Amino acid sequence: MSRVEEFLNYLRTEKNCSEHTLKSYRIDLREIEAFIRQNGPQWISENEVQWEKLTILPLRAYLGRAYGRLQAASLGRRIAALRSFYRFLAKQGLVQNNIARELAAPKLPKTLPKFLGVEEAFRLMEAPKGEDVQSLRDRAMLELFYSSGLRLRELTGLRLSALDLPTGMLRVKGKGNKERLLPMGGKACDALSAYLAIRPQISAQAGHEDFVFLGVQGKKIHPRVVGRRLEEYATKLGLPKKVTPHMLRHSFATHLMNNGADLRGIQELLGHASLSTTQKYTHISLDKLLEVYDKAHPKA
């Protein structure tokens, strides 16, 4: 097994990284490997890159070559992959010097998260109109996204045992396999109850899968299907934005912030490891703060 595959296996088993993350890391590290094979044969032995002997120069050469064709975010992702990979190698005692720490990540332009207005969010929640299993499932998914601020893969990976409808709470495993307890709104609980009552119609097809949200074949719903269904509803409503599952998560956080929720509390609900990640929502709420100022300040 190559060092890269050892690293990916570690991320899968020890860090519980998503398949999406693993795929991205594999693509990035394989591309770097290919560059080293082509431009630095002295670093190859038995058809494998000798990462423990590698110097910083070929990595900088790769990044220099990639600089002109990649956007800052893509370049930053490759540097993050290298840093994480070398931390693993150092932890395993396979390298003495973590050379990836010397790689400087490009500065990314600050972009504010996009979100729906409250009225737009309410309209979207009501978009699935039917009483068939697919419509009830979609309504429950939308309500849960908005009421609990779930990430897409947290929602698709949600199991029946994680739901406690009588108390309105659910357990979620987020990034880094960290578990958090989240409240569900009354509308979300009602939508889930309606869906779960009819869910056995499709779960029986796949031997009674225990994932909450299932596709038409009775198996765990694919994240792409969720995104596609959401986009279809948004298009029918004529919403002016390209609506994504993550936009509902942003809407959840922004609406909490605009209604006076504590930043630390929002951090806990979102499952952010760092408060700095949550602080971007304070910028979004600037319009709300100015509105309050205009109404309340005697000199405004």
Is the model's pLDDT at 136 over the cut of 90?
yes
Among residues 123, 246, 280, 288, which one is catalytic? Answer: 246
297 is annotated as an active-site residue: no
Instruction: Tabulate helix, strand, coil % of the chain (nearest 5).
Output: 60, 5, 30
3-102 classified as CATH 1.10.150.130? yes
10 is annotated as an active-site residue: no
Is the model's pLDDT at 106 over the cut of 80?
no
CA distance 73 to 76: 5
Among residues 175, 180, 280, 288, which one is catalytic? Answer: 175
Give the pLDDT band (50/70/90) at residue 134. very high
Give percent of the chain with pLDDT exceeding 90.
56
Among residues 78, 151, 187, 255, which one is catalytic? Answer: 151
Of 2.70.98.50, 3.30.300.20, 3.40.50.150, 1.10.443.10, the CATH number of 118-293 is 1.10.443.10
Q: Using CA atoms in the order 154, 245, 189, 135, what is the torsion angle rounded to 10 degrees? A: -120
Among residues 77, 180, 272, 288, which one is catalytic? Answer: 272
151 is annotated as an active-site residue: yes
246 is annotated as an active-site residue: yes
To the nearest whole number, what is the mean pLDDT of the chain? 87
Is the model's pLDDT at 170 over the cut of 90?
yes
Q: What is the pLDDT of residue 108?
A: 62
Going across the sheet that includes 163-164, the strands are 163-164, 169-173, 179-183
Among residues 137, 153, 249, 255, which one is catalytic? Answer: 249
- Sorted by where each begins, the domain ranges of the chain are 3-102, 118-293
pTM, 2 dp: 0.65
Sign of the Cα pseudo-torsion (170, 174, 179, 182, in order): negative
9-55 pLDDT, tens digit each:
999 988 888 888 899 999 999 999 999 999 888 989 888 999 999 99
203-260 pLDDT, tens digit each:
777 666 789 999 988 889 999 999 999 999 999 999 877 899 999 999 998 898 888 8
Is the model's pLDDT at 265 over the cut of 90?
no
What b/e sequence results for 86-107 when a residue is b if at least 16 CB atoms lie within 10 Å of its CB, and e otherwise? Answer: bebbbeeeebeeebbeebeeee
Give the pLDDT band (50/70/90) at residue 300. very low
